[in-house]
């Protein structure tokens, strides 16, 4: 811990700080010696309401805001609730940043999404390609809502000198992830399907899409470290990717999860279901150069830990899933 960072001795507010990622981010921030870290629950303050947002900032009086709060989900949830995904994510960020600016917050960290990238971004995704096309249709409302916060932060920096930064993490996974079949992302969704099928003695599982699409994944503790480092040391308008630089097809991912879970049944792919974006793999050079972040967790090890967590907690989650 050093004093030459934006966190030491400061009051830090983490929205979404009690969710999947939040506790890990709070732990990463604590290493930089803040005066206090606040992580109110969603039930306490509705950040889509201006009066509630003002109450939160008046109650916590932060010097630094790390905005993690988001409405998120997999392809199915994005297709079913595009209006909700757009409105809530846009309004939460816009209101929070404006009220933070009015209170002279010294730093605002927007945690955006890889879904903001164009559907056919050249691989590996470079931050300079963020505006080269429209996002993949199934998650465009979510991706564009988050992208708008990048524009807001850059505009506020230009007009008001407001120190807003934007981070673009790739797909996250790890212990404590959302395994609800109605809203989970791909790794927890597949883990749940495979473990439930193994326990039920099923001879196959059904999997969405063709399996040809690729994704990059980042372990939850790694992304928290990246957010902490950027909050402490990064002060520029350019967005920054947070990723592992590793790419795997959905078919390869599913086969690996089956292996780690001890499931030997058939995989039945359903090409009538969407694959989502064809490929996702990030150029992670900027994060390393600007604030020294490199992912450390090997993918196989991270998956083992995630599967073990689900095995211990699976009674909490409903059977079935899409």
* DSSP β-ladder status, 248-249 and 214-215: antiparallel
- What number is the average pLDDT over the span 171-197? 92
Is the bond preceding 195 in cis, omega lying within 30 degrees of 0?
A: no
- What number is the average pLDDT over the span 111-124? 94
Q: What residues contact residue 293 under an 8 Å CB cut-off, 6+ apart? A: 225, 226, 229, 230, 242, 284, 287
- What number is the average pLDDT over the span 286-310? 98
- What number is the average pLDDT over the span 140-162? 97
| Domain segments of the chain as ranges | 11-173+217-242
Q: Is the pLDDT of residue 203 over 80?
A: yes
Residue 231 phi/psi, 5° resolution? -60, -35
Q: Is the pLDDT of residue 174 over 50?
A: yes
Q: What burial class does residue 260 get, using C-beta atoms within 10 Å of its C-beta: 0-12 exposed, 13-18 middle, 19+ buried? A: middle
Q: Is the pLDDT of residue 76 over 60?
A: yes
Q: What percent of the chain has pLDDT over 90?
A: 84
Residue 164: which H helix or E strand, with range?
strand 164-169
What is the tens place of the pLDDT at every residue in 2-59?
457 999 999 999 999 998 999 999 999 999 999 999 999 988 999 999 999 999 999 9
List 245's β-bridge partners, or say none: none
**Is there a contact between 57 and 6 (Cβ–Cβ < 8 Å)?**
no
What is the tens place of the pLDDT at every residue in 78-117?
788 899 999 999 999 999 999 999 999 999 999 999 999 9
- The residue from 45, 87, 134, 142 that is catalytic is 142
CATH architecture of the domain formed by 11-173+217-242 = 3-Layer(aba) Sandwich (3.40)
Residue 93 phi/psi, 5° resolution? -70, -40
Sorting pLDDT into bands at 50, 70 and 90, what band is 320?
very low
**Is there a contact between 94 and 48 (Cβ–Cβ < 8 Å)?**
no
Sorting pLDDT into bands at 50, 70 and 90, what band is 274?
confident
- Mark whether 310 is an active-site residue: no
């Amino acid at each position: 811990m050093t004093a030459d960072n934006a966190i030491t001795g400061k009051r830090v507010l983490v929205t979404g700080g009690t969710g999947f990622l939040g506790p890990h981010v709070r732990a990463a921030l604590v290493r930089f010696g803040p005066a206090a870290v606040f992580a109110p629950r969603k039930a306490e303050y509705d950040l889509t309401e201006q009066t509630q947002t003002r109450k939160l900032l008046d109650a916590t009086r932060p010097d630094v805001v790390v905005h993690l709060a988001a409405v998120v989900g997999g392809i199915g949830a994005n297709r079913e609730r595009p209006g909700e995904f757009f409105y809530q994510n846009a309004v939460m960020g816009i209101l929070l940043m404006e009220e933070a600016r009015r209170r002279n917050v010294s730093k605002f960290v927007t945690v955006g999404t890889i879904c903001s990238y164009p559907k056919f971004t050249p691989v590996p995704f470079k931050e300079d390609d963020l505006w080269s096309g429209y996002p993949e249709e199934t998650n465009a409302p979510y991706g564009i809502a988050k992208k708008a916060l990048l524009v807001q932060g850059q505009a506020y920096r230009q007009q008001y000198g407001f120190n807003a930064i934007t981070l673009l993490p790739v797909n996250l996974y790890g212990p404590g992830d959302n395994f609800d079949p109605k809203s989970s992302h791909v790794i927890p969704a597949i883990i749940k399907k495979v473990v439930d099928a193994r326990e039920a003695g099923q001879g196959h599982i059904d999997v969405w899409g063709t399996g040809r699409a690729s994704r990059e994944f980042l372990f939850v503790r790694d992304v928290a470290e990246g957010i902490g480092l950027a909050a402490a040391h990064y002060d520029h308008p350019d967005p920054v990717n947070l990723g592992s630089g590793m790419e795997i097809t959905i078919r390869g991912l599913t086969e690996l999860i089956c292996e780690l879970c001890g499931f030997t049944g058939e995989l039945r792919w359903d090409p009538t279901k969407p694959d989502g974006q064809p490929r996702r793999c990030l150029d992670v050079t900027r994060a390393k150069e600007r604030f020294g972040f490199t992912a450390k967790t090997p993918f196989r090890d991270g998956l083992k830990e995630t599967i073990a967590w689900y095995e211990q907690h699976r009674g909490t989650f409903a059977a079935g899933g899409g």
